[in-house]
Chain A
Amino acid sequence: MSRRRVGVIALAILTLALLLSPGAVAQREKGTLVIGTTDRITELSPENSYDYWTWHVFQQTAEALVTFKPGTTEIGPSLATSWTISPDGKVYTFKLRKGVTFTDGTPFDAAAVKWSIERALRLNGPEGGVALIMNIGKIDVVDDFTVRFTLKQPDATFLARMSDPIAPAMIFSPKSTPANEFAKGRYAGTGPYRLVQYVPEQRTVYEAYKGYWGPQPKSPRVITVFFADASALAAAVEAGQVDVGYRTFNPEDIVRLSKNPNLQVLRGPSMSVRYIVFNVTAKPFDNPKVRRAIAYAVDRERIVRDVFAGLNSPLYSMVPPGLWSHVPAFPRRNLDQARALLREAGYSPTKKLAITLWYTPLHYGTTEADVAAVVKSSLEQTGMISVDVKSLEWGAYVKAMSKGEFGIFFLGWYPDFVDPDNFLAPWLTESPEGLGTFLNKATNPADKQAYARFQKLLTDAKLTAEKSKRQAIYQEAQRLLAETAILLPLWKNDQQAVAIAQKNVKGIVLDPTMNFRTWLIYKE
């Protein structure tokens, strides 16, 4: 009996490890591309989702009026073939492509465009990104293939916001998509793929849409397998079970697999940033001195070195280096300054600042627990802060964050569209509640002033189309952000823009938009 028990216990531990592997072995016929990822889909509702992989799925199976040309940050035609902008910058008239059908056979026309976008604006789910297109005033069908948008305010970034993969701006069939409830997977787009299967936590399957208006996708069938963690993903890539893995590998695995002659490791320019958010209505973070002290105490170098094996880079502004207008406005680490500010705020080694730091254990990769541990240790090095670390699974994390339950927490961001506005406005003016800063509800007069100032700066920057003027405004906004420390940029996620593939896989494009266009990928 005891010998059997030994076996059982050993097996139990092994089984624990196996429990975390994906289970489903993807089918590998010729022409089927297998992608592996550790990301997850939250809810396949364009009006109630705002995360990378959910929008990625929409991008493979539906389209918007315009798109970013692969490998560039240039906007080009998609479902719209051309457009004109009124002199006051408020009216955009789009000519639509003819002969396009949705995957359910319904013809695409101006009425469908109006229906889809008005639907997103109307349903505006709490976990959605509809705020991105809230500037739309009204939509008019001029004729079957001409649609006119009238904006509330001129906006130099409007066209970028009407591109895929911004789900609320994408066009869905009025026949197959519910009008008055969240879609939850019930939708039909214009292609290039159809979503034929979605098993939550397991896989998605796309098949090429034969009626697509453009060139057929290079791989007629794509299976995406969702892996439990980065180690399992790396193991699967190594074993040849997936053709390409994307988001997100362990740094150690990237280093190791770079030396593997049978694999190719592709690195793209990353615009993915990681940062800390302060809820400026939650004590003690309503005190700018506390926030600035923490800004002086974090140790970005140590995070990058210890948690990411040097594969990421420290970040001193929300606008990442590589994007125009970037200025490294945040201060370098300085414990003395941190302590001085804490003392001014009334804290001391005997009366420590006690904070609860929140993180989510899987969504940003399994390194997050270590990041929290390093931040905790760096802050406690001041001798005047005591940090309690807590975690929540991503779905619950997002809900709690938008309800204001966190005071200080980690978040990540990749651009909805590549423009400095999209690295500042979302937390400061567009969706301060949805993204947890609650700056619009600030109680401290200094913060209220900052809010008003950000509103002025960021609106002015959108009203002018002249790049040099916009650049100066965004630089001022970055300096103001560093002074007020409402957000705390930590590192640029270079390691996230890494795809590891078998040698015979071609067509992978990693560009600053961070879009992953599976229709371009194929195997030789």
Chain B
Amino acid sequence: MGEVAGFATEPAAGARPSFLRMARRHSILLVGAAIVGFVVTVTILAPILAPYDPTAQSPGGRLAPPSAAHPMGTDQLHRDVLSRVLYGGRLPLLVAAASVAISFSLGTGLGWISGYFGGRLDRALSVVMDAIYSFPSLILAIAIVAMLGPGLLNMIGAIAFVYIPTYFRVARAQVLTLKEQEFVEAARAMGGTHWRILLRHIAPNTLPAVMTVPSFTIADAILTEAALSFLGFGLPPPTPDWGFDIQNGQKFLQAGYWWLITFPGLMIIVVSIAFGMIGEGVNDLLNPRRRRAT
């Protein structure tokens, strides 16, 4: 197979790509999705899978190392760490998913409007979004939650707020490029109203670019939620939560009780990486890279 005009060619005409070949090409996406799927399933099934009630302060010894009865050990209040890890993903995943859903909708919608209609609205929104974007996400989230007070909705709101500019920028940039295209001129010539053009013609074409963003922001949102819980802004004890348990377990690390923070910490790392892999994979899928002729 050769290369024609800078495009990698497909295999010989007539041969359909086998599943294995597709799997190999999109391996990053599939592995990432598999990991996330596994974690989400396990989290949902926590009530069935967890050997103990994660808040029960009686099952095992105090600060017991991993053993057959407690594969991830117990914490200082005699709670089973494995059960807490199983249940502890609900909050980070829920908060991350909810915040990203909100940022996605608001950010993308505002980006469409700003990019299309331009003018003073666009300038004003861009300035605001740039200001928010320039803040380190964790610091901004802390500041917002500190103002609003701890609580589930406030955390979701704070994290959502932090990522709105990311979606805004991508959507707006796409709209700016697209609105100069010929098909938009054509639509206008045929008498399409602005809103119709925006929603029917432009917006859907921004999606390939915009859809690559959620997986990265979810990874980021999970880390931010963990940090907020770590710092005490999350849900109150004894709600199992990876971030909170890292905070609690941190005091015992120096004394040698490593299992309290290692297992929840591993979960956060694994899930964040998996979402990152999904993001990579989606990017590859929707925006295939054009290989240069060598």
Among A1-19, those with CB < 8 Å from B are 1-2, 5-6, 9-10, 12-13, 16-17
Q: What's the least CB distance linking A461 to chain B, in Å?
A: 40
Residue B272 lies at the interface, judged by CB distance under 8 Å to chain A: yes
- CB pair A9 B238 closer than 8 Å: no
* Known A-B contacts A5-B273, A373-B237, A391-B150; A17 and B55 likewise in contact (beta carbons under 8 Å): no
Most A-side CB within 10 Å, residue of B149, B219, B255, B268: B255
Report the nearest B residue to A362, measured CB to CB: B232
What residues of chain A lie closer than 8 Å to B227, measured between beta carbons?
A: 16
Interchain CA distance A369-B249 in the complex, whole Å = 12
* Known A-B contacts A230-B251, A369-B237; A16 and B230 likewise in contact (beta carbons under 8 Å): yes
- CB pair B57 A374 closer than 8 Å: yes
Interchain CA distance A351-B45 in the complex, whole Å = 30
- CB pair A235 B254 closer than 8 Å: yes
What residues of chain A lie closer than 8 Å to B232, measured between beta carbons?
A: 361-362, 369, 391, 393
Encoded as 1 (CB less than 8 Å from any A CB) or 0, chain B from 222 to 254 comes to 010011001010001110000000011011111
Residue B201 lies at the interface, judged by CB distance under 8 Å to chain A: no
- CB pair B254 A256 closer than 8 Å: yes
Contacting residue for B273 out of A6, A230, A390, CB 8 A: A6
Interchain CA distance A186-B102 in the complex, whole Å = 47
Contacting residue for A5 out of B55, B226, B276, CB 8 A: B276
Interchain CA distance A344-B236 in the complex, whole Å = 31
What residues of chain A lie closer than 8 Å to B76, measured between beta carbons?
A: 306-307, 309, 370
Among B65-120, those with CB < 8 Å from A are 76-78
Q: What's the least CB distance linking B59 to chain A, in Å?
A: 12
What residues of chain A lie closer than 8 Å to B62, measured between beta carbons?
A: 305-306
Interchain CA distance A239-B219 in the complex, whole Å = 35
Residue A313 lies at the interface, judged by CB distance under 8 Å to chain B: no
What residues of chain B lie closer than 8 Å to A230, measured between beta carbons?
A: 251
Q: What's the least CB distance linking B173 to chain A, in Å?
A: 20
Residue B269 lies at the interface, judged by CB distance under 8 Å to chain A: yes
Residue A144 lies at the interface, judged by CB distance under 8 Å to chain B: no
- Pick out which of these stretches binds chain B: A247-255, A481-489, A490-498: A247-255
Residue B51 lies at the interface, judged by CB distance under 8 Å to chain A: no
Residue B60 lies at the interface, judged by CB distance under 8 Å to chain A: no
- CB pair A231 B251 closer than 8 Å: yes
**Chain B interface residue count, Cβ-Cβ cutoff 8 angstroms:** 38
- CB pair B254 A231 closer than 8 Å: yes
Residue A389 lies at the interface, judged by CB distance under 8 Å to chain B: yes
What residues of chain B lie closer than 8 Å to A369, measured between beta carbons?
A: 232, 236-237, 248
What residues of chain A lie closer than 8 Å to B170, measured between beta carbons?
A: none
Residue B122 lies at the interface, judged by CB distance under 8 Å to chain A: no
Residue A234 lies at the interface, judged by CB distance under 8 Å to chain B: yes
Residue A386 lies at the interface, judged by CB distance under 8 Å to chain B: no
Interchain CA distance A361-B150 in the complex, whole Å = 12
* Known A-B contacts A6-B273, A234-B254, A253-B255; A373 and B280 likewise in contact (beta carbons under 8 Å): no
Residue A376 lies at the interface, judged by CB distance under 8 Å to chain B: yes
- CB pair A373 B255 closer than 8 Å: no
* Known A-B contacts A231-B253, A256-B255, A374-B57; A13 and B237 likewise in contact (beta carbons under 8 Å): no
What residues of chain B lie closer than 8 Å to A16, measured between beta carbons?
A: 138, 226-227, 230
- CB pair A2 B251 closer than 8 Å: no
* Known A-B contacts A306-B76, A374-B77; A389 and B251 likewise in contact (beta carbons under 8 Å): no
Residue A244 lies at the interface, judged by CB distance under 8 Å to chain B: no
What residues of chain A lie closer than 8 Å to B272, measured between beta carbons?
A: 9
Interchain CA distance A412-B168 in the complex, whole Å = 48
Known: A5-B276, A13-B265, A252-B251. 15 other contacts (CB 8 A): A6-B273, A9-B219, A9-B269, A16-B226, A230-B251, A231-B250, A252-B257, A306-B57, A306-B78, A309-B76, A361-B232, A366-B251, A369-B236, A392-B149, A392-B150
Interchain Cβ contacts under 8 Å between A and B, 18 examples = A2-B277, A6-B273, A13-B268, A231-B254, A253-B254, A256-B254, A256-B255, A306-B57, A307-B76, A361-B232, A366-B251, A370-B237, A374-B57, A374-B77, A377-B55, A388-B236, A389-B236, A391-B236
